[in-house]
Structure 1
Amino acid sequence: MQLKAGGSDRFPVLTHLSYDASDPFAVAVSFSHEGRVLARWSLDREMLAEGIRRPVGEGDVRLRPQSTGRWQELRMEFFGDPHPDGSRHHAVILAWAPAVMSFLHETYEVVAPGRESIHVDDFLAEVMGGC
Structure 2
Amino acid sequence: MANVSARVVMRLITDETHSREFGVECHYRPDDPYAVRLHFGAAAQDAVWVLSRELLLRGLRGPAGEGDVHIEPGTDGSVFVALRGTDGIALLEAPYGPLARFLAATEELVPAGCETLRLDWDSWLTELLSA
Q: Taking structure 1 as the reference length, what is the TM-score of the superposition? A: 0.83
- Once the two structures are superposed, residues 11-64 of structure 1 have per-residue CA deviations (whole angstroms, 9 ceiling, x without a partner) of 112100011000011111111346952x21111111101001111111011111
Q: 1:92 to 1:34 in 2, by over 3 A?
A: closer
Rounded Cα–Cα distance in structure 1 between residues aligned with 2:89 and 2:123: 35
Aligned to 2:99: 100
Mind listing any 5+ residue stretches in structure 2 that lack a counterpart? 1-9
The alpha carbon displacement at 1:98 in A equals 1.4
Pairwise CA RMSD:
1.7
Sort the Cα spacing of 1:123 and 1:51 in 2 relative to 1 into closer, same or farther, 3 A: same
User: 2:67 aligned with 1:59, yes or no?
Assistant: yes
Percent identity between the two aligned chains: 30
State the SS of the aligned residue for 1:13: strand
User: Which residue number corresponds to residue 9 of structure 1?
Assistant: 18
Residue 123 of structure 2 is matched in structure 1 by 122
User: 2:53 pairs with 32, 41, 45, which one?
Assistant: 45
Structure 2 Cα separation of the partners of residues 14 and 4 of structure 1: 14
SS, match of residue 88 in structure 2 = strand
| Structure 1 unaligned regions, length at least 5 | 82-87
How far residue 8 of structure 1 moved from its aligned partner, in angstroms, is 3.4
Q: How many positions carry a matched residue from both structures?
A: 120
Larger radius of gyration: 1
Q: Secondary structure at the match of 1:58?
A: coil
Normalized per residue, which structure has more helix?
A: 2
Q: TM-score w.r.t. structure 2 length?
A: 0.83
Cα pair 1:13 1:32 within 8 Å, conserved: no
Q: Which runs of 4+ in 1 moved over 2 A?
A: 32-36, 118-122
- SS state at 2:81 partner: strand
For 2:73, give the aligned amino acid: P
The 2-side partners of 1:17 and 1:9 are apart by 24
Q: Structure with the greater relative contact order (CA < 8 A, sep ≥ 6): 1 or 2?
A: 2
